[in-house]
Amino acid sequence: MQYTNKYSSPIGRITMASNGERLTGLWFDGQKYFGSTLSSDHEEKHLSVFEDTKCWLDCYFSGEIPAFTPPLLLSDTPFRLAVWEILKGIPYGQTITYGKIADMLAKQKGLKSMSAQAVGGAVGHNPISIIIPCHRVVGVNGSLTGYAGGMDKKIKLLTLEKTDLKNLFIP
């Protein structure tokens, strides 16, 4: 069984999903790929993992760096899981390009190169927004491209983290 719960953030309502023990999804309501890990059979419920996630989000939206991460459960292709693992390591307030992530993955796998576009697809399908910080990924030359939650939210999240936006290009 899967469960959901809601959170009202300063930049929009968020839906959380869980298998009962771990967080399996976190989306801005109405975003692209909303509910991608949810089956049609789920119910609204109060769970300790949702309380932990709400505490994490309260801390984050107050401008602080949360000192913990709620328990997460990700399942997808090995490629997407590898991309999401790299996303988890992007420091608060900093950005990385899709190309840099592709280079990191290629190096891990002993390959000469890897597609930044493929990385972009994996980043876009990240089911646990904010906690797995896909909003910190930018295009070549610092262009702010591609955020399933919407560019306005990406800019607000980066601004909240006091990311230096002066070197980023907003299309």
Prediction pTM value: 0.93
pLDDT at 171: 63
pLDDT digits (tens, 9 = 90+) for 140-153: 888 888 788 889 99
pLDDT digits (tens, 9 = 90+) for 53-91: 999 999 999 999 999 999 999 999 999 999 999 999 999
Contacts of 81 (CB under 8 A, 6+ apart): 74, 75
pLDDT digits (tens, 9 = 90+) for 89-134: 999 999 999 999 999 999 999 999 999 999 999 999 999 999 999 9
pLDDT at 40: 83
Do the Cβ atoms of 3 and 45 come closer than 8 Å? yes
The answer to whether 59 is a known catalytic residue is: no
Residue tagged active-site, from 123, 128, 134, 144: 134
How far is the C-alpha of 53 from the C-alpha of 115, rounded, in Å?
A: 33
